Amino acid sequence: MSKKGISVKLDKLKSELAEISNLQLSIGRVITEEWIEPMGPTPAPTLTTLRDWDYKLLQRYKPFYMPYCDVCCLCTMGKCDLTQGKRGACGLDIWCQQSRIVLLACCIGAATHAAHSRHLVEYLIEKYGRDSPIDLGTGVEIEAPITRLVYGEKPKTLGDLEEVLDYVENQITQLLSSTHTGQEGNNIDFESKVFHAGMIDHLAMEVADIAQVSAFGFPKADPNAPLVDIGMGVIDSTKPVILVIGHNVPPAAQIIDYLSETGLMGNVEVAGICCTAHDLTRYNPKAKIIGPLSWQLRFIRSGLADVIVVDEQCIRTDVLIEAQRTMTPVIATTEKDCLGLPNRTFDSVDRIVSDLVDRKAPGAFILDTQKVAEVAVKTALLLAPKRMKFKVIPDAKSIIEGAKKCSQCRYSPCRRACPNDLPIPEAMRQASQGVLDGLANLYDLCIGCGRCEHACINNQPIHSFIIGASERRTREEKFKVRAGRGAIQDVEIRKVGGPIVLGEIPGVIALVGCSNYSNGGIEVAQMAEEFAKRRYIVVASGCSAMSIGMYRDEEGKTLYEQFSGDFDAGGLVNVGSCVANSHIAGAAIKIASIFAKRKLRANYEEIADYIHNRVGAVGIAWGAMSQKAASIASGFWRLGVPVIVGPHGSKYRRMLLGRKDREEDWYVYDARTGEKVYVGPCPEHLFYVAETKEEAMVMAAKLCMRPNDTTRGRAIKLSHYVDLHKRFYGTMPDDIHYFVRRESDIPIMIKDEVMKILREKGWKENVIPDPTLLPRLIKRE
């Protein structure tokens, strides 16, 4: 790994002028070469280094913009009306404005991961030392595939990661600057920068996760990572409960340490929401997961938490207001999220605890994690007997009384505020007559946003009514999820690399992202089950990985209990929190590097070209909502990996769509001959919004096809595509002729049926090339 500077260390220097001892000096940047792989063509790429590659992808997958707003209001010359071809006062058109907003979102996402990563690395260096080794487990030699690929270096210690973050932060600043008024003026160049932001985001995520896996001793690429508890019902309400929310685990981990050190481990429940919960169970499997981010309001209002500790990202910004209703103090622990609380970092623990227990302060902002832990535990122990789990979720009687006050407003402000257009007035009408089923039926579909309550003209606590009406449900909400395993082992990659690239494993389906589901989290579980049964490799992370666990089959088993955690056909792999998404990209990169022996170091274009043409991986971010989800997706796009989002994902305002009917878009070079060969629309789209889970599943099966598939592999992929299509659509797909290259591609069972279609379409056999989009990879004599 390169070192940040020339490191000069003098134990003692004595001269006429001075006597110096223990001097250490760093100047400039120097590579300490320990990695024999020669440097590739694009180390630490800047904004335009990979622009040609981006343009290739964007030529095929053109943006389809769906402006979320007709105007721009980013500078004081606006607002500018950008409808009907009009330009703003700065000359910007609607397409640039959309792509600029997408870039802004991705910069926010990447900056968030970068800042999270920076904090983690600094924290871990302070705790474990700069020379603490990067160690992802015995089976993982390529410890940092994205860092090697993008930055061109191989980190060996925590200290090495700082320099990678220097690069990341520099690039985010450059990217963000291009969104200023009067900078970039071309939408495709904005899109190229979106890809760059995504790639940088993946780098930031990788740094964060390899740092925490190495230093905290999380499961190290372990397919048998423990099964941990998830759900509202897993909490032992007889104990004091500390709830942690967010993504950055040090304060939560410190709480576990403090409990162990003080022998209180079994006396206090520590449970989490969102990715901090994932990482906490990676740190200690005795910790519990409440659920995805949409579980925040319901759990806070349940009153079960005696103290809430928030770190960063996706935390409800009204957490303090909500927590005050249940008399639960909130401890804010990062500079990004102070909640208006006074800084108590330098106060004594006892004073803070007494202020919180006596309700003299609603919370505290504490930057010292050790102090956070001590305050949280002591407060929880003292406050629990006083609070008596005070809740604001009403009982059945109060719900019925409340519902009687509903005016059944003609234009339903509650329903019109609900992102999922849930039939709240009808449920309230039923409740007013003593029937709570209508409200309870909304439980699975409600994303816990609380908008209905703010809109209700009678200030009805509608979300609380839904939760209260589902009291039995929440009590019985006890499931299992496999703790995040982190990286994929090199040996697993060696085993599955061939079958994936040849198409014999039909694909890798990555169920990732947040819980902004249009039709409940169960749909993610159903998709995971379908693909795992079909022996795809199913990987998961973040809120999606949680939703997959919150469902049982007829035998009462969760999917994590049914399917192994191996990165293999039919496996269901939870990699972990949001930042662990880097291991999914990392696995694709490692297939190119380990299985195909492509040069990895700073060789982005070639590896992305390999993945795009050969690795049948598809991301499904069914409930994606955040800017981080946008940047994660864009990191996959630059690698040529398609991503499907659920209906709410259309609000990302831009899709990247192929046109299978335009033959000219689907040619690649045959690296053996240099000939241009038609390979069909494989994969057809790069960013796609599906309306229903059925559509998403069929599309995912289709998007797993790659030009490199062998005939056997293509036949397997086609059989899944056709089978799913027939099951959900009731018909043979009308585009099958695009995907058959040779007769032997056709699955035997449907050969006659397909051949008939092919004859009608005037289909001709084609060669299967050694596909590449990069002319420089043609191996001419």
Least Å distance, CB 624 to ligand SF4, is: 16
Q: Which of 88, 137, 461, 713 binds ligand SF4 (CB under 6 A)?
A: 88
Binding-site size for ligand SF4 (CB under 6 A) equals 41
- Whether the Cβ atoms of residue 383 and residue 329 lie closer than 8 Å to each other: yes
688 scored as a contact of other proteins (CB under 8 A): yes
Contact, 284 vs 596, CB < 8 A? Answer: no
Neighbour count for residue 116 (Cβ, 10 Å): 27
Phi, psi of 67 (to 5 degrees): -50, 130
Buried b (16+ CB within 10 A) or exposed e, 201-218: bbbbbbbbbbbbbbbbeb
Q: Is 238 in the site for other proteins (CB under 8 A)?
A: no
Please identify, using beta-carbon distances, which residue of 449 and 466 lies nearer to other proteins. Answer: 449
The answer to whether 211 and 161 are in contact (CB under 8 A) is yes
Does position 729 interact with other proteins (CB under 8 A)? The reply is yes
Choice from 251, 303, 423, 448 touching ligand SF4 (CB under 6 A): 448
* Amino acid found at 549: G
Q: Could you tell me which stretch among 126-134, 203-211, 234-242, 407-415 binds ligand SF4 (CB under 6 A)?
A: 407-415
Q: Does 407 bind ligand SF4 (CB under 6 A)?
A: yes
Query: Contact between 458 and ligand SF4 (CB under 6 A)?
Result: yes
Distance CA 609, CA 614 (A): 8
When binding is defined by CB under 6 A, the residue of 140, 275, 417, 690 that contacts ligand SF4 is 417
113 interface partner picked from other proteins, ligand SF4, none, CB below 5 to 8 A per type = none
Of the pair 115, 417, the CB lying nearest ligand SF4 is at 417
Residue 369 burial (10 A CB sphere; 0-12, 13-18, 19+)? buried
Residue 665 Cβ vs other proteins, minimum distance, rounded to whole Å? 13
Contact (Cβ atoms closer than 8 angstroms) between residue 482 and residue 565: yes
Q: Residues with Cβ < 8 Å from 7, sequence gap 6 or more? A: 24, 25, 26
- Residue 251, binding choice from ligand SF4, other proteins, none, Cβ under 5 to 8 Å by partner class: none
User: Does position 80 bind ligand SF4 by CB under 6 A?
Assistant: yes
* 59-82 burial code (b ≥16 CB/10 A, e <16): ebbbbebebeeebbebeeebebeb
Exactly one of 695, 753, 755, 766 binds other proteins (CB under 8 A); that residue is 695
- Residue in the structure block whose two tokens are 């062998």: 710
**Which stretch of DSSP H or E encloses residue 53?**
helix 51-60
Q: Which is nearer to ligand SF4, 109 or 402 (CB)?
A: 402
Q: Is 408 in the site for ligand SF4 (CB under 6 A)?
A: yes
- 730 contacts other proteins (rule: CB under 8 A): yes
Write out the two tokens for 94.
């609607």
Give the bridge partners for 273, in sequence order. Answer: 245, 291
Give per-residue burial for 495-532: e unless 16+ CB within 10 Å, then b. bbbebbbbbbbbbbbbbbbbbbbbebbbbbbbbbbbbb
Please say which residue, 90 or 522, places its beta carbon nearer to ligand SF4: 90
Contacted entry of other proteins, ligand SF4, none for residue 73, CB cut-off 5 to 8 Å set by kind = ligand SF4
Closest to other proteins by CB, 340 vs 730, is 730
- Backbone phi, psi, residue 60, to 5°: -85, -45
Which residue in 21, 22, 317, 731 binds other proteins (CB under 8 A)? Answer: 731
Supply φ then ψ for residue 369, to 5 degrees.
Answer: -60, -35
Q: With binding defined as CB under 6 A, does residue 78 bind ligand SF4?
A: yes
**Binding flag, residue 520, other proteins (CB under 8 A):** no
In the list 186, 457, 476, 662, the residue contacting ligand SF4 (rule: CB under 6 A) is 457
- Tell me the closest approach of the beta carbon of residue 407 to ligand SF4, in angstroms: 4
What's 477's DSSP letter?
A: -
| Alpha carbons within 13 A on the beta-carbon side of 348 | 3
Closest approach of ligand SF4 to the CB of residue 234, in Å: 22
Question: For strand 508-511 and strand 307-310, is the pairing parallel, antiparallel, or unpaired?
Answer: unpaired
513: phi then psi, degrees, rounded to nearest 5: 95, -170
Binding span for other proteins by CB under 8 A among 34-42, 65-73, 481-489, 596-604: 65-73
320 binds, among other proteins, ligand SF4, none (CB under 5 to 8 A by kind): none
Contact between 245 and ligand SF4 (CB under 6 A)?
no
Taking the complex as a whole, the smallest distance from the CB of residue 652 to other proteins amounts, in Å, to 9
Nearest distance in Å: CB 733, other proteins: 8
Find the binder of other proteins among 363, 486, 647, 683 (CB under 8 A): 647
The token pair that represents 317 in the structure block: 């910004």
Residue 232 vs residues 291, 460, 574, 633, 687: alpha-carbon distances, Å: 7, 23, 20, 30, 34
Q: Which is nearer to ligand SF4, 431 or 501 (CB)?
A: 431
242 binds ligand SF4 (CB under 6 A): no
Of the pair 383, 690, the CB lying nearest other proteins is at: 690
Which residue among 446, 500, 510, 618 contacts ligand SF4 (CB under 6 A)? 446
**Distance (Å, whole) CA 503 – CA 744:** 14
- Does residue 68 touch other proteins according to CB under 8 A? yes
Alpha helix positions (H), 550-659 = 559-562, 581-590, 604-614, 627-638
Tokens 């999220």 — which residue? 337
The closest alpha carbon to 175, from 204, 210, 209, belongs to: 204
Question: Where does this chain touch ligand SF4 (CB under 6 A) — which range of 34-42, 424-432, 512-520, 616-624?
Answer: 424-432
Residues 412-471, interacting with other proteins (CB under 8 A):
413, 416-417, 419, 421, 455
Binding residues vs ligand SF4 (CB under 6 A)? 72-75, 77-78, 80, 88-90, 92, 181, 406-409, 412-414, 417-420, 422, 424-425, 428, 442, 446-452, 456-458, 460, 462-463
Binding residues vs other proteins (CB under 8 A)? 64-71, 81, 83-85, 94, 411, 413, 416-417, 419, 421, 455, 518, 647-648, 650-651, 653, 655, 657, 659, 661, 688-692, 694-695, 698-699, 728-731, 734
